[in-house]
Amino acid sequence: MRVPMRTVRWLAVATVLTGLVLIIGVRLSGGPRITSRESPLFPAADLSITSIPPLRYHAIVIGIDSYADRGPEGWPDLANARADAEAIAATLRDEYDFDVTLLTDREATRERILSALDRLSNFGEQDAVLIYYAGHGFYDKRLGEGFWVPSDARRRVGDRWAKEDWIWNSTLTKVIDASRARHILVICDACYGGSLFRGDTVDESVEQDMTWYRRALAEPSRFLITSGDLEPVLDSGSGHSIFAQAVLNYLRFPDEPIFSASDLGLAIRRKVSALTGQMVRLGPLNVASHAGGEFVFLRREKIKDFVRPESIASSTRTAEKKRAGSSCKDTSEAVLQQAAAMYAQGFTNTARRIL
């Protein structure tokens, strides 16, 4: 059907007027805007150190020099693991205000280590936990499984390895993944420590400003730093292993009063690699509970006046909703078997959490 010219003109005018009204409305209402990369995602006040939400910091520190199963077929004693653990524990307690559980030598039995790790199930969104282990490690190539060796563990039973006495990496990973702690950082100074590592390495090009730290603190993290990969590592040093001395040096003399696990790990890597050639590994654990955050250290005597504790709830509400919405209770046979296995190994609290 043909349309009269007068009608066409009227439609054109109406279209132009409608467009002008829409443009003016958007401008007046502050409508859709394109934020440049230089524009802050948080108001300026949110970028100050004092705006960082507070956390309760805990540490489980394990160091074993002396093993019960000695002799020709037993575990050889180490020289520095206990001193390393004691120094790390003191530094975390005195300079970073950590609540520290320290297990050394005969105290670091399988039962007591598992009991300490089972405490992870008691922590929540306001808790950050550091686990430090220095002692013997073992790697089974056939199983593709690594182990930590408690002080009361046998090395062999007849012609086979006494793996039932050791702490399996897969067990440790499950306990870490089941915890509701906001952040968990594992630092492992043991042979074959890299067997625990299954994540991607960190991106050294990422600029870590205060906005980055706020995001790192808000999102849950599960992070790992190890003294080596699938290889033996050195125990010798001037009173401490070279790896532990690098950890202590950075904790005591950091570049900034606030720093992340990757800051610590990269500094250790440069130092240890230059002195020994060992490849320090660092990055997130490949577990569901890692949500892109990162463990952040705060020097308490230099950073004061934190915001009130309840602020962390609002800063992390989105992350908690994601976790709650994506993890309905699963009572499948596999989950029940996992809970039963955790209970049988002494992780009673973790088993309850799974169920």
The residue extents of the domains of the chain are 44-48+55-301, 326-355
Average confidence (pLDDT) over 287-308? 73
Average confidence (pLDDT) over 199-210? 60
Q: How far is it, in rounded angstroms, from Cα 315 to Cα 319? A: 9
Give me the helices (H) in 144-286, please: 169-178, 210-218, 242-252, 261-276
Among positive and negative, which fits the CA dihedral 68, 71, 72, 78?
Answer: positive
Which residue, among 290, 61, 262, has the nearest Cα to 182 in the 3D structure? 290
Q: Look at residue 314 in the predicted model and tell me its pLDDT.
A: 43
Q: What percent of the chain has pLDDT over 70?
A: 61
Among 7-21, 122-136, 212-226, 273-287, the minimum mean pLDDT is found in 7-21
Q: Look at residue 93 in the predicted model and tell me its pLDDT.
A: 96
Angle at CA of residue 52, ends 211 and 120, nearest 5°: 110
Average confidence (pLDDT) over 63-89? 90
pLDDT higher than threshold 60 for residue 49: no
Angle at CA of residue 101, ends 97 and 103, nearest 5°: 140
Which residue, among 169, 54, 195, has the nearest Cα to 117 in the 3D structure? 169
pLDDT band at 355 (very low <50, low <70, confident <90, very high): low
Selected residue with higher pLDDT from 85 and 280: 85
The two structure tokens encoding residue 99: 């609540």
Of these ranges, 7-11, 135-139, 147-151, 234-238, the one predicted with the greatest mean pLDDT is 147-151
Among 11-25, 103-117, 149-163, 295-309, the minimum mean pLDDT is found in 11-25
**What are the CA-CA distances from residue 351 to residues 57, 122, 343 (Å)?**
24, 12, 6
Residue with tokens 């699963």: 330
pLDDT higher than threshold 90 for residue 61: yes
Average confidence (pLDDT) over 93-107? 96
Q: How far is it, in rounded angstroms, from Cα 230 to Cα 226? A: 10
Alpha carbon dihedral 66, 121, 280, 242, in 10-degree steps, equals: -40
The CATH number given to 44-48+55-301 is: 3.40.50.1460
Q: How far is it, in rounded angstroms, from Cα 335 to Cα 342? A: 11
Among 61-70, 240-249, 329-338, the minimum mean pLDDT is found in 329-338
pLDDT band at 3 (very low <50, low <70, confident <90, very high): very low
Average confidence (pLDDT) over 24-46? 36
> Average pLDDT, whole number, for the chain?
74
Q: Look at residue 281 in the predicted model and tell me its pLDDT.
A: 87
pLDDT higher than threshold 60 for residue 327: no
Q: Look at residue 264 in the predicted model and tell me its pLDDT.
A: 95
